[in-house]
């Protein structure tokens, strides 16, 4: 699977390029299939991307064809300051005409086990199988639903989505979404798992800031240590790393430009 690293002078330039990449995939998939399925990243870096998508890039997408999911959620109510849904609603969803029935929120306010079951049902109901779904390492033997695009961020500790170092969610090979209590995150998380994340047609990472440099170098150029660096479990079909120069500063292979 191709994996491409693109380094940009600033976070703003990285976010501009990422917005362009997202829109290009959305436009192509809507032209091909009449719909675009997207799993949003949480945290803070994506806010700038979502503001671009609902701002200068807004008119480029037929939002009525977009189906939005989340890669993970903090188990808090949707209006909580820590909610990934709230961040996406403020930066994107309140500003683009996606039909409410196509916004598939993780129920952060619910009991974790119930939220896990509910989201597994939503994924099964609204995602199409990956083309040529078949059993392969890290993927379940049954047909795996596939997002058109998964957006991912990278934690300073090498986590992604809510796949955290030393926790079991990253090692999951059958369930597509799991709830797990994460001491390092001071609470329960709901997260998509590697089998589902890796079935996506396209994966775009967005990484910015000097604090990410050690984790990025370890994930991309260090030895294979997926329990310590769960981001290494993401081995998608088409992976693009959109990184600013500050986060890339420890890479031996970062393109000079």
Give the span between the Cα atoms of 129 and 144, in whole angstroms: 5
For tokens 């926790």, the residue is: 167
Establish if 153 lies at the interface with ligand 6PG (CB under 6 A). yes
Least distance to ligand 6PG from the beta carbon of 204, Å? 12
Beta 239-244 vs 128-129: how paired, if at all?
unpaired
Q: Nearest residue to ligand 6PG, using CB?
A: 153
Residues 65-84 contacting ligand 6PG, CB under 6 A: 71-72, 84
> Cβ closer to ligand 6PG: 42 or 195?
42
Spatial CB neighbours of 204, under 8 Å, sequence gap ≥ 6? 18, 21, 22, 149, 150, 151, 152, 239, 240, 242
Least distance to ligand 6PG from the beta carbon of 247, Å? 10
Establish if 115 lies at the interface with ligand 6PG (CB under 6 A). no
CA-wise closest residue to 115 among 179, 38, 197: 179
Binding footprint of ligand 6PG, residue count (CB under 6 A):
15
Least distance to ligand 6PG from the beta carbon of 189, Å? 7
CA distances from residue 58 to 86, 191, 194 in whole angstroms, order as listed:
19, 28, 30
Give the span between the Cα atoms of 57 and 23, in whole angstroms: 7
Least distance to ligand 6PG from the beta carbon of 47, Å? 8
List residues near ligand 6PG by CB under 6 A.
41-45, 71-72, 84, 153-155, 159-162
């Amino acid at each position: 699977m191709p994996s491409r690293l693109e380094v940009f002078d600033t976070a703003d330039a990285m976010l501009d390029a990422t917005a362009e990449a997202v829109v290009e995939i959305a436009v192509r998939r809507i032209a091909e299939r009449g719909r675009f399925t997207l799993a949003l990243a949480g945290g803070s870096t994506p806010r700038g991307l979502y503001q671009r998508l609902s701002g200068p890039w807004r008119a480029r997408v037929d939002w009525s064809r977009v189906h939005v999911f989340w890669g993970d959620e903090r188990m808090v109510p949707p209006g909580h300051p820590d909610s990934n849904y709230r961040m996406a609603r403020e930066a994107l969803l309140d500003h683009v005409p996606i039909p409410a029935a196509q916004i598939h929120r993780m129920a952060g306010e619910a009991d974790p086990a119930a939220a896990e079951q509910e989201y597994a049902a939503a994924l099964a109901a609204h995602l199409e199988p990956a083309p040529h779904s078949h059993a392969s390492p890290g993927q379940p033997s049954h047909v795996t639903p596939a997002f058109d695009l998964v957006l991912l961020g990278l934690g300073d500790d090498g986590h992604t989505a809510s796949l955290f170092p030393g926790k079991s969610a990253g090692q999951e090979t059958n369930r597509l979404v799991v709830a797990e209590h994460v001491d390092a995150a001071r609470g329960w998380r709901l997260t998509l798992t590697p089998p589902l994340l890796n079935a996506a047609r396209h994966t775009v990472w967005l990484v910015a800031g000097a604090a990410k440099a050690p984790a990025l170098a370890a994930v991309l150029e260090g030895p294979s240590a997926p329990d310590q660096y769960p981001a290494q479990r993401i081995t998608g079909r088409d992976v693009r790393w959109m990184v600013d120069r500050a986060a890339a500063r420890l890479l031996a292979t970062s393109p000079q430009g």
